[in-house]
Amino acid sequence: MSGSVTVIGLGPGDPRYLTPAAQAALDAAQDLIGYFPYVARVPERPGLTRHASDNRVEVDRARHALALAAAGRRVAVVSGGDPGVFAMAAALFEALEAGDPAWRALSITVEPGITAMLAAAARIGAPLGGDFCALSLSDNLKPWEVITARLNAVLAADLVIALYNPISRARPWQLGVALGLAAEHRAPETPVILARAVGRPDEAIRILTLAQARAAEADMATLVMIGASATRLIPREGQAPFVYTPRSVAR
């Protein structure tokens, strides 16, 4: 087959953080597929057909990309951040596994991007310097009971936790529950970072304690990071503190 699919991470929002390889793939694409806001981040140009869709049709979007590529098109599927972190790369391979066997002969490439937890961490210091994990609080694709079981397990393991998809209009209560579970394992003064729209003009980063964070507002553009017991603040006069987690663990 002459067509191809490249799944591209657009990074956190600032064009400076788009990799050269991702930009080259965008420049070569004939078709651009993705969630409306991500497609809008790619400038229009002659020869590029845009296919924007809603955020709950990931596998349908992936099938569309594969069908276009099977017809000989060069297709770019875009995600914010990194396409392999709660994003379109997994959806594409799910569609590939269940779809037309001929699709497996296509050229399929994943171009990485800077995911939200890395962008947020870089803004404030090194909170991911020790062991950490990432969890999505969205229960669109997995039961809430699975989410809470995993959250309790990593809280008990004393990992720094990055929470993606923390809240939405349909589920405004889940972040509060998650932070309540954290309070059962972590001290009230544990650092919590709420990083909204990192890399975009409306970026806002708050460094709170766990006790304060339980009453704070967030939305789907917010990355929530819960520190481990070893996570520390370095105060700075007139500026936000640095936050870091040591690599070493006391014996």
Asked, for residue 251, whether it belongs to a domain, the answer is: no
The mean per-residue pLDDT over the stretch 141-158 comes to 96
**What local confidence, expressed as pLDDT, does residue 154 receive?**
97
Residue 249 lies in a domain: no
| Closest among 70, 73, 71, 80 to 28, alpha carbons compared | 73
Closest Cα partner for 3 from 53, 59, 76?
A: 76
Tell whether 145 is covered by a domain. yes
Which residue range forms the structural domain that includes residue 99? 4-114
Same domain, 161 and 197: yes
DSSP 216: -
- State the DSSP string of 5-51: EEEEE-BSS-GGGS-HHHHHHHHH-SEEEEEHHHHHTSPP-TT-EEE
Please check whether residue 250 lies inside any domain of the structure. Answer: no
Average pLDDT of every residue of the chain: 95
Whether 98 and 132 share a structural domain: no
Clarify whether residues 140 and 73 are in a common domain. no
| Per-residue model confidence (pLDDT) at position 249 | 83
- Single-letter code of the amino acid located at 47: G
Contact assessment for residue 3 and residue 15, using Cβ atoms and an 8 Å cutoff: no
Which carries the bigger pLDDT value, residue 218 or residue 7?
A: 7
Question: By CB neighbour count within 10 A (0-12 exposed, 13-18 middle, 19+ buried), where does 7 fall?
Answer: buried
* 20 part of a folded domain: yes
Q: Is residue 164 one of the residues assigned to a domain?
A: yes
Residue 248: is its pLDDT beyond 90?
no
* Spatial separation of the C-alpha atoms in residues 211 and 129, rounded to whole Å: 23
CA distances to 49, 126, 185, 207 from 31, in Å: 5, 38, 48, 40
Instruction: Give the domain-ending residue among 55, 84, 114.
Output: 114
Q: Tell whether 134 and 240 lie within a shared domain.
A: yes
The Cα–Cα gap between 113 and 25 comes to 13
More confident residue, 82 or 214: 82
User: Do residues 31 and 110 share a domain?
Assistant: yes
Q: Please provide residue 33's backbone torsions phi and psi, each rounded to the nearest 5 degrees.
A: -125, 135
What band does 182 get if pLDDT is binned at 50, 70 and 90? very high
Domain CATH code at residue 195? 3.30.950.10
Whether residue 70 is found in the same domain as residue 182: no
The pLDDT confidence band at residue 250, using thresholds 50, 70 and 90, is confident
Q: What's residue 215's pLDDT?
A: 84
Give tens-digit pLDDT for 69-82: 999 999 999 999 99
Mean pLDDT of 185-189: 96
Residues 100 and 141 in one domain: no
Q: What is the mean pLDDT of residues 26-36?
A: 97
**Lowest-pLDDT range, 30-34, 56-60, 234-238?**
56-60
Q: Is the pLDDT of residue 21 over 70?
A: yes
pLDDT at position 1:
67
Number of domains in the chain: 2
3-state secondary structure 149-175: HHHHHHHHCCCEEEEECCCCCCCCCHH
pLDDT of residue 214: 87
Say yes or no: 137 and 20 in one domain. no
105 and 126 share one domain: no
Q: Alpha helices, DSSP H only, in the chain?
A: 20-28, 36-40, 58-70, 88-98, 116-124, 144-156, 174-185, 210-213
| pLDDT confidence bin for 56, thresholds 50/70/90 | confident
CATH number at residue 91: 3.40.1010.10
In-domain check, residue 135 = yes
Question: Quick one: average pLDDT of 205-215?
Answer: 94
User: Does residue 150 surpass a pLDDT of 80?
Assistant: yes
Dump pLDDT digits (tens) for 81-124. 999 999 999 999 999 999 999 999 999 999 999 999 999 999 99
